[in-house]
Structure 1
Amino acid sequence: MDDISLITVALLCLAAASAGWIDAVVGGGGLLQLPALLVGFPHLPPAYLLGTNKAVSIVGTSAAAVTYVRRAPVDVGTAVRIGLAALGGSVLGAFFAAGVESAVLRPLIIVILLGVLAFVLLRPSFGTVAVARGPVTRRRVLAAILVAGLGIGFYDGLIGPGTGTFLVIALVAILHLDLVTASATTKIVNVCTNLGALAVFSYQGTVLWRLAALMAVFSLAGGTLGARMALKNGTGFVRTVLVVVVLALVTKLAYDQWLS
């Protein structure tokens, strides 16, 4: 912390607040927060950036989860089961994260974002209403545990950015939830994945704790505000934010990769 300029710290805190807000509304706040850390610490090993990102994210995600559970019709039992599977997947992914090179992160994130954008734009009715009525079948819950839990949980531990967005899409597709309920469920799952990955990064000593604690305060505020706005404005608002966020991030990352 002593070697970081005040301007860098201020920008990272702003990024944390914005990421917390985005993460609460539609997921994917790490796609803003992790690139901000990459810019702030261009020569730091990626494991430290990933670990610090998790330490910040878990605070904003937890705040959003509490807000959603209090106000939205969330099936907490199903969310926890998916979350426990995701925790295991994220722990496994985090063990492999030390081998990820920073030069690989940005192009990989761009490709992932373009896939998300294409999916959402080609499915205009995706997540606008809940298809399922009544209890969700065991087969769908099992599919959600395997795909959203183990699969996306592994990705979250390995790299992380976009996990919330992918979880929202997976839960809408598999469990037929609307976007607001899917976002609420995602927050509970995301807390588990962040916890698993953070435990590994903490054990490896790759977390900048003082910086993370400061950024977490802003992430907390952003996460709480974002959840309240999503609940108030509904699925149309969530979908619009998703498209705008993905477009902005693709543009920014592409510029950094090939034009800057």
Structure 2
Amino acid sequence: MSQLFPRPRKMFNYYFSDILKEIYSSHTNTLVIGASIGMRPNQQLGELFVNASFYRPQVSADSFYLNNQSRLAFFNQATRKCALESITDKSDLACYPHGNFFISEGKPGKVLKVHAKNCIDFHFLTAMQCVLSQYSVDIPPSFVGLGGIFLMKKGIARTHVMPYSWDNQLKTAKNINNWLHYSDLNAPLVAVGTLISDSSYYEKSCQRSGRNGYGLTQSHFHTYSSNGTGGHFHTEIQLTKAVEYFGYFKPAKIFYHMDPHLRYDGLQDFTDIMVYW
């Protein structure tokens, strides 16, 4: 996220084919799901919902075959509301320099199924993180990450998309809160992304090795609905018995941080802006 604030450093994209060649080079079949930022042809930024499978006949092949089911939620200037479009490019898929992804071969296997309803205290993702943190205490290196998908079956979710143009004054979490365009979306909603138990282990590891502390996003999920809306998923806005989730997650074996930048202290995580709601 340090790439974005107080202003994006550059207007450039990362292409997933290049990412896979670097960090997943020994596989021919790859599934990528997660949350990121995408750029429209007019250079407007939006919330990217990544769901794409890549195939190449052999690991030495330079090009991939792409089955792209990704989507982009963005702010429509004409309607002043969130809009949603499908990403239909079959040649490659790109993301702007902030995103969290779970990469696998996409094969059938055991997963962690989570069914949550009748929320009375913690929000869904907050509860998931608390459980992960408690579980990881006795597991070296005390750092657990999950990637997956969940369905918000019942309830209302608070989401955001970025406005059409960038504000030069985005220096604090309060500035960013006032700048984002929020929407309350009704279930059912589908979300993909990642969450980690605690970023402090990674930051301390960097410091012990003589490197700078790099901030990580604790949880990052993007969502969409069949009625043409979507965005960055924050939380349900009513802790009532009407809330219900089904989630399917897989623990990650390897953590990889591409092109880390110094942490931007004005904003550690998008969860920081929740205090201003």
Q: Same fold (TM over 0.5)?
A: no
Q: Where is the helix percentage greater, Structure 1 or Structure 2?
A: 1
**Normalized against structure 1, the TM-score is what?**
0.26
Could you say which structure has the larger radius of gyration?
A: 2
Greater RCO, CA 8 A, separation 6+: 1
